[in-house]
Chains A and B, each alone.
Chain A
Amino acid sequence: MRIVVCICQVPDTAAAIAVAEGELDLARVSWVMNPYDEYAVEEAVRLKEQFTGSEVVVMTVTEGPARELLQKALAMGADRAVELLALSAPSAPDSFGIASALAGAIRNRYLQMPPDLVLCGKESFDHQNGAVPAMLASLLDIPFAGPVAALRAEEGGLELERETECGMECLRASFPVVVSAGKGLNTPRKTGIRQVMEARKKPIETISAGELPAPRINLCGVEQASARKSCRFAADSAELLRMLQNDGRIPDREELRA
């Protein structure tokens, strides 16, 4: 099975993100692999272990070097990594630019036939757009199965489960297909010294992402969100409900019934 996994790095999930002088201040945050992408890498490596002769290629679009990120994926078991350098950083929120860079690199690499499976995390923890996987599928003109919570491979295709508002939906997908990984798909493995050493011998290619299309959205400004509220404490349940009622915090009947 030929598998491509698209990954990115995000600020550590516990990092407090600050805004300084109207811009995001990310100078002091430490960067980690986007947690949803870890599920995607893990799933790809499990498939590789299941189907001999498979190859897992990880790709990332980045402005500067992303060695640590790629080495982590290689240590988890990916075979090779591609670092796609974008000259002018695809302004972070512009999913279209990122998806275009990935689509271009995948097309160049798999000239004859698209890879069987493209795996992505369902969204990045920082911008939370969740748009790249589907955009990538539409740019590659291959189907998109959405974020999945379970994946089983069989000859020529996949059996998938994805969440809907009515419950879990079962899907059958044939290759090629783009799938994004949601929580619950697996438990990503921890890597030890041995895997990290082995990863150093694996190839990382650095290539230019080429000229990216004009961004479809532009970031015009950021502000710190004010989450802090002043909490009013109630002595007991009856007082709490009275407060909620008096302040009009309980949705009206029509809203509740719908």
Chain B
Amino acid sequence: MTKHYLVFLELRSGAIAKPSIGVWNRFQQLASERGGRVSGFAAGPAAEGAFDLLQGSGTLHHAGAEAFGFACDEAVRGMIETLAGEQEITGIAFASTAMGRRLAPLLAGRLGAALFGGCTDFDADEGVCRRLIHSGAVVASYSSASPVTVYLQGRELAASGFTSAAKPRIEAFDAAPYLVSGINPMAVALCKSMQGRDIAEASVVVAGGRGMGGAEAFGLLEELAALFGGGVGASRSAVDEGWRPHGEQIGQSGKRIAPDLYIACGISGALQHLAGISAARSVVAVNSDPDAPIFGVADYGIIGDVKAILPGIIAAARDLLKKK
């Protein structure tokens, strides 16, 4: 049977979320190499030209109702379920965003589909996936035993590099039947807006641990992260000290990140922390203890006091990026 992938394109303030574009490109690449076709689905109001940056062929179904400005999972789930049935979809792909992490298992449960989440390597054509389990200590391989597979993909895979001169065709999707009253749960407001870049989506993450000595020193990390357009993270002890919010915690009980470049400052590298960075592509460690376990998983290191070293790194990075 021909593979037909449906990619969910999440809209944030009228623009397609960057992680969704990454997933779209990956499945376009896959379809062009191995056969199959790709469709897209987006819910919510889109800004003028929001879909122009999508490359590749296929149809993009857009439910443009204003009502989807706020996440309402049930309605979106219902629409994707309908499309999946009508279009004989064999794979439904989500970017691993807060919304994607809710929708993917909801749909997999509903359709009785296989769910492949956080693959470090996958072959959708063969229906196999590899991913890290047990805090990054083990790589497991899975096979799908269902005609439909739901994919939930984060930054664990490097960008696919797909380009094409083709553009998808936009088709309006009638959302009216799905807009029922009494949506539950109902999102009422954004109560606290986020400072800085979400570390799960950033290509550069700079994080600090106990060695930072206090909340103030994180200003240096913010400065360095800003140069790279990256995000600031923290170890569990820095969060437990109250220096940084929970949302920035990296590790077993925090976020698992997969940036291209991870800079760990004053983080010793407890097993629980390493669990969160096993998919990072390059790791830099700055620590005063040469025996710190973080150096065991780092590609590059500097030994010394972070607060003394960071200003130098910031200056050197600024010089380098100016030339780039």
The residues of A with any CB-CB pair to B shorter than 8 Å are 11, 13-14, 16-19, 24, 35-36, 93, 95-96, 99, 125-139, 143-147, 149, 158, 160-174, 177, 183-184, 213-225, 227-229, 231-238, 240-241, 243-245, 247, 249-253, 255-258
Pair A96/B109 contact, Cβ less than 8 Å: yes
Interface size class on chain B is 35 or more
Pair B229/A237 contact, Cβ less than 8 Å: no
15 A–B contacts from the bound complex (CB under 8 Å): A96-B109, A129-B115, A132-B105, A134-B104, A137-B106, A165-B200, A166-B193, A169-B190, A170-B191, A171-B186, A174-B185, A224-B139, A241-B313, A250-B320, A256-B229
Contact of A128 among B73, B184, B256 (CB under 8 A): B256
Pair A240/B313 contact, Cβ less than 8 Å: yes
Residue of A nearest to B70 (CB): A169
Which residues of chain B are near A126, meaning CB under 8 Å? 133-134
Binds A, one of B56-64, B168-176, B211-219, B247-255: B247-255
Which residues of chain A are near B145, meaning CB under 8 Å? 214-218
Contact of B128 among A127, A161, A220 (CB under 8 A): A220
Interface membership of B222, Cβ < 8 A: no
Q: How far is the CB of A258 from chain B (nearest CB, A)?
A: 6
Interface membership of B114, Cβ < 8 A: yes
How far does the alpha carbon of A204 sit from the alpha carbon of B117 in the complex, in Å? 34
Residue of B nearest to A130 (CB): B101
Beyond A135-B106, A167-B194, whether A24 also contacts B98 by CB under 8 A is no
Residue of B nearest to A124 (CB): B133
Binds A, one of B27-35, B44-52, B281-289: B281-289
Which residues of chain B are near A17, meaning CB under 8 Å? 134-135, 137-138
How far does the alpha carbon of A24 sit from the alpha carbon of B137 in the complex, in Å? 11
Which residues of chain A are near B74, meaning CB under 8 Å? 143
How far does the alpha carbon of A218 sit from the alpha carbon of B107 in the complex, in Å? 19
Q: How far is the CB of B303 from chain A (nearest CB, A)?
A: 7
How far does the alpha carbon of A133 sit from the alpha carbon of B312 in the complex, in Å? 46
Pair A229/B299 contact, Cβ less than 8 Å: yes
Residue of B nearest to A143 (CB): B184
What per-residue 1/0 map shows which CB atoms of B12-53 lie under 8 Å from chain A?
Answer: 100001100000000000000000000000000000000000
Pair A232/B299 contact, Cβ less than 8 Å: yes
Binds A, one of B1-9, B83-91, B270-278: B270-278
Q: How far is the CB of B77 from chain A (nearest CB, A)?
A: 8
The residues of B with any CB-CB pair to A shorter than 8 Å are 12, 17-18, 71, 73-74, 77, 97-99, 101-102, 104-110, 112-118, 128, 132-146, 159, 184-194, 198, 200-201, 203-204, 228-230, 246-247, 249, 252-254, 256, 260-261, 271-272, 274, 278, 282-285, 295-303, 309, 312-313, 315-317, 319-321, 324
Which residues of chain B are near A138, meaning CB under 8 Å? 77, 105-107, 109-110
Which residues of chain A are near B252, meaning CB under 8 Å? 13, 125
Q: How far is the CB of A168 from chain B (nearest CB, A)?
A: 4
Beyond A134-B109, A249-B282, whether A218 also contacts B133 by CB under 8 A is no
Pair B278/A238 contact, Cβ less than 8 Å: no
Pair A232/B300 contact, Cβ less than 8 Å: yes
Pair A221/B101 contact, Cβ less than 8 Å: no
Pair A256/B185 contact, Cβ less than 8 Å: no
Which residues of chain B are near A251, meaning CB under 8 Å? 203-204, 228, 260-261
Residue of A nearest to B188 (CB): A170
- Contacts beyond the supplied A13-B135, A167-B193: 13 A-B pairs with Cβ under 8 Å: A11-B134, A13-B253, A134-B105, A135-B108, A137-B109, A145-B185, A163-B247, A168-B191, A219-B142, A220-B128, A233-B301, A238-B316, A240-B300
How far does the alpha carbon of A220 sit from the alpha carbon of B121 in the complex, in Å? 14
Which residues of chain A are near B200, meaning CB under 8 Å? 165
Contact of A223 among B105, B108, B139, B315 (CB under 8 A): B139
User: Which has the most chain A C-beta neighbours within 10 Å: B190, B198, B228, B247?
Assistant: B247
Which residues of chain A are near B132, meaning CB under 8 Å? 225
Q: How far is the CB of B293 from chain A (nearest CB, A)?
A: 10
Which residues of chain B are near A169, meaning CB under 8 Å? 71, 187, 189-191
Contact of A165 among B97, B137, B139 (CB under 8 A): B97
How far does the alpha carbon of A252 sit from the alpha carbon of B201 in the complex, in Å? 16
Pair A241/B320 contact, Cβ less than 8 Å: yes
Q: How far is the CB of A66 from chain B (nearest CB, A)?
A: 19
Q: How far is the CB of B150 from chain A (nearest CB, A)?
A: 9
Pair B297/A228 contact, Cβ less than 8 Å: yes
Q: How far is the CB of B110 from chain A (nearest CB, A)?
A: 5
Beyond A16-B271, A250-B261, A251-B261, whether A225 also contacts B137 by CB under 8 A is yes
How far does the alpha carbon of A256 sit from the alpha carbon of B224 in the complex, in Å? 13
Pair B98/A164 contact, Cβ less than 8 Å: yes
Q: How far is the CB of A65 from chain B (nearest CB, A)?
A: 23
Beyond A216-B115, A237-B313, A251-B203, whether A227 also contacts B136 by CB under 8 A is yes
How far does the alpha carbon of A24 sit from the alpha carbon of B139 in the complex, in Å? 10
How far does the alpha carbon of A29 sit from the alpha carbon of B193 in the complex, in Å? 41
Pair A129/B117 contact, Cβ less than 8 Å: yes
Which residues of chain B are near A93, meaning CB under 8 Å? 133, 140, 142
Pair B203/A183 contact, Cβ less than 8 Å: no
Pair A237/B302 contact, Cβ less than 8 Å: yes
Q: How far is the CB of B25 from chain A (nearest CB, A)?
A: 13
